[in-house]
Amino acid sequence: MEFMIDSNLNIVSDLLRWGRERLEKAEIEDSAISAELLMRSLLGLSRAQFILGHDRLVDPKTESEYKALVERRAAREPLQHLIGWVDFYNITLKADRRALIPRPETEILVETVLGMLKGQSSPEILDIGTGSGNIAIAIARSLPGSRLVGLDISPEALQLAEFNATHNGVEDQIKLVRGDILDLPFVRSLEAFDCIVSNPPYVSNLDREILQPEVVDFEPTVALFSGDDPLIFFKTIVINISYILKPGGLLAFEVGMGQARLVAKMMRDNFKNVEIANDLAGIERVVTGIYARPDKQ
């Protein structure tokens, strides 16, 4: 039900207060942040400009547009979709329903990979499940000599990644490929890389009900859920690693809560220096290892 008001709100500060109260009523946790960012996006203002412009008059059209955006956020549409953009690591990306919204914890994966590739002038990197292209683009911007392949099963996600790569000026470093990493003949058709990085689907179908509506209702299912086995993508990549990773190459995964030690265990037979890194919340989030080709291969 729409939250009605009795009079026009023609000053930024009044309209902002209404937006915050409306979102609080809808139990939106980031109500103050959402109310402000929706307003700033609509008016095209930086935070400094916004702070200085609280007494600015708002025309009826802008007021109506702001109220509509607040109602959509109250209905749990993601803030990033409403704004249209999201900051990630050292880049800005277009965000919409075609791919997962990049999360801050994935920046830990990027930071870890960049640290481990330090000193390599032109590594060849495969990003499995590239989605919006956030990981590949962030790495490309930080390693100008790197060459990346962004792999995804979704043509819509690849379209978004292509836009984002061009927007960030790294389209010449990234090749986008449609394919299914669970398809062994396809995997065998790929070349071997110096590094493989992946933030694959790792949520079991059984966990659907515990996710927020912003995630379940507005983000692509194919990028979220791994079926009945939440580790299927990790298992498949590790089992077929000899086709796609050079000896001495780096494998880096982002994993879900409680998965890190299981993934590390499955890597230890064929990898050395298997390590786990925590995210800023202290959750074991990134698993890395150096591929040591077994003698039998």
User: 87-291: what fold?
Assistant: Rossmann fold (3.40.50)
Q: Supply the pLDDT for residue 6.
A: 40
In the predicted model, is pLDDT for residue 7 greater than 60? no
* pLDDT above 70 (res 29): yes
DSSP result, 165-184: HHHTT-TTTEEEEE--TT-H
Of the candidates 253, 214, 227, the one whose C-alpha atom is nearest the C-alpha of residue 101 is: 214
Predicted local confidence at residue 55, as pLDDT? 74
Please report where in the chains the tokens 């400009």 appear, as a residue.
Answer: 49
Q: How confident is the model at residue 203 (pLDDT cuts 50, 70, 90)?
A: confident
Q: Is the pLDDT of residue 142 over 60?
A: yes
pLDDT bracket for residue 3 (50, 70, 90): very low
In this structure, the number of other CB atoms found within 10 A of the CB of residue 132 comes to 28
**Residue boundaries of the structural domains of the chain:** 12-75, 87-291
Cα atoms in the Cβ-side hemisphere of radius 13 Å centred on 3 = 19
* 50-103 confidence digits (pLDDT tens): 777 667 788 889 999 999 999 999 999 999 999 999 999 989 999 999 999 999
The pTM (predicted TM-score) of the whole model is: 0.91
